[in-house]
A and B are shown apart, each in its own frame.
Chain A
Amino acid sequence: MSTSIHLSPGQVAASLALVVLAAAISFWQRADLERDIGIATVRSFIQLTAIGYAIKLIFEADTLWLVFGLLAVMVLFGALTARARAKKVPGAFWPLLIALAVAGVTTLGLVVALGVFEPTARYLVPVGGMVIGNAMTASAVALNRLGDEMAESRGKIEATLALGATAQEAAAPTVRRALRSGMIALIDSTKTTGVIFFPGTMVGMLLAGANPTDAVRLQLILLYALLGSVAIAGLVATGLAYRNFFTPAQQLREPGA
């Protein structure tokens, strides 16, 4: 990266005009999202500002322990956030926490082991953040779908259990659909990337004045890493979470019990 850009707080403030527009549309169309838009705006401001300072500290200290600490916090908050989207899945927190941790460790471990990135804070923090963030979205979508589908397919699942199928066999079609829906958004956006969708990293690098070839290569690496992490997270989250719908005697639990 040859040049870097400087943005003033005033420029950020000016972009709030678009938030006002979003809130106005929501109000006009009675989408009832004004409150959420407000919360999202304030939270993004506070969180990004805080993380900006934290990253600055971590880059300056340049010890891996701090990096791992930060990534662990991301995994924890990711799991808590995703749990809120998976309310119909009993005990969703542990499957999500494990899913995000496994996805993060495997993906980062692989890109470092393959020599794609050096194991330094400058790479691990932003890449880890993207990996865990996408893993969170995918596993939240997957478990949200799992909760809905398990409720919808109770009759079918129980009829399959009645044939002497295991919980795993009876839930397999449902788990498969949940996993698909968790992964499909990223796969679709990867397919169209560069045509109708410019990924954030590439945009950021181009804005910061990087060579387009470098920007493209980095973006490809990230897209492929994200595909991997999303698949791992979805698989682990659904593979662990579906069990909570069943008793050890291969019975479907009563909802809310």
Chain B
Amino acid sequence: MLFELSEVSLARGNRRVLDSVSAEVPAGATAIVGPSGAGKSTLLRLFNRLADPDAGTISYRDRLLTEYDPLVLRREVSLVPQLPALLEGTVESNLRYAADLADKQLDSARCLGLAGLDPDFAGRDVAKLSVGEQQRAMLARALAQQPKVLLLDEPTSALDHAARDAIEATLAELRRELEISIVLVSHDPEQARRLSDWVVRLEEGRAIEAAPVEEVL
């Protein structure tokens, strides 16, 4: 099992953001769906230990997440957050930063291409990118680390159909050719159906379903 959650709870202030969530996330592609505020982003952040639950356990490849060195884990299980947040500088310098952290050779044209960006985006100042371009640069940056698992939080929310289709094609290709597993947060059931073979549905912090995509959607 890629991830296994057991009775995971997390409170913020006096709100139960995740309420005793138990679910399995197999290797391959999983979509986390549910209404806004259901706890999808919060759950995704637990998978690479940007936060820890107050109660319950999460395991990754049959070992508790807490047994991994968080720095090593995060280079292997790469999260692309919902809101783009690039470092000051060029797109290329962001990709280089990520690749260096993971100790990987950087092929920026390839990373940009996979994220649906032209190679000459490399030299662009990140402060002058549109939100959709930033979103794709964030994906390119994650790919520069050559992760084994991609955690994507609404990766196409700011994109038009053409750009969205390009990203979706890339994700399918990454799965097929590099055997990268993908956990994707999406508010769009159609996208979940197109991309994933397993679905976890959250509602008000509870996992109400975790099943193969054809049974749920």
Contact = CB atoms under 8 A, between A and B. Distances in A.
Interface string B11-51: 01000000000000000000000000000000000001111
B70 A163 contact: no
Contacts of B49: 249, 251
B75 interface: yes
Interface residues of B, number: 30
Contacts of B88: 173
Interface stretch (A24-32, A152-160, A188-196, A201-209): A152-160
Nearest to B82: A155
Given A249-B70, A250-B70, A164 B79 contact: no
Nearest to A252: B50
A162 B81 contact: yes
A252 B85 CA distance: 15
Interface stretch (B94-102, B172-180, B199-207): B94-102
Contacts of A155: 81, 83, 85
B72 interface: yes
A106 interface: no
B79 A162 contact: yes
Nearest to B97: A163
Interface residues of A, number: 18
A163 B145 contact: yes
A249 B52 contact: yes
A161 interface: yes
Contacts, number: 62
Contacts of A161: 50, 74
A166 interface: yes
Contacts of A249: 49, 52, 66, 70
A165 interface: yes
Contacts of A60: none
A252 B141 CA distance: 21
A160 B50 CA distance: 11
A46 B59 CA distance: 62
Contacts of A173: 87-88
Contacts of A156: 85-87
Nearest to A254: B12
Contacts of A251: 49-52, 70
B196 interface: no
Interface in A205-257: 249-252, 254
Interface of B: 12, 48-52, 66, 70-75, 78-81, 83, 85-88, 97-98, 101-102, 138, 141-142, 145
10 contacts: A156-B86, A160-B87, A162-B74, A162-B81, A163-B102, A163-B141, A164-B72, A166-B71, A250-B71, A254-B12
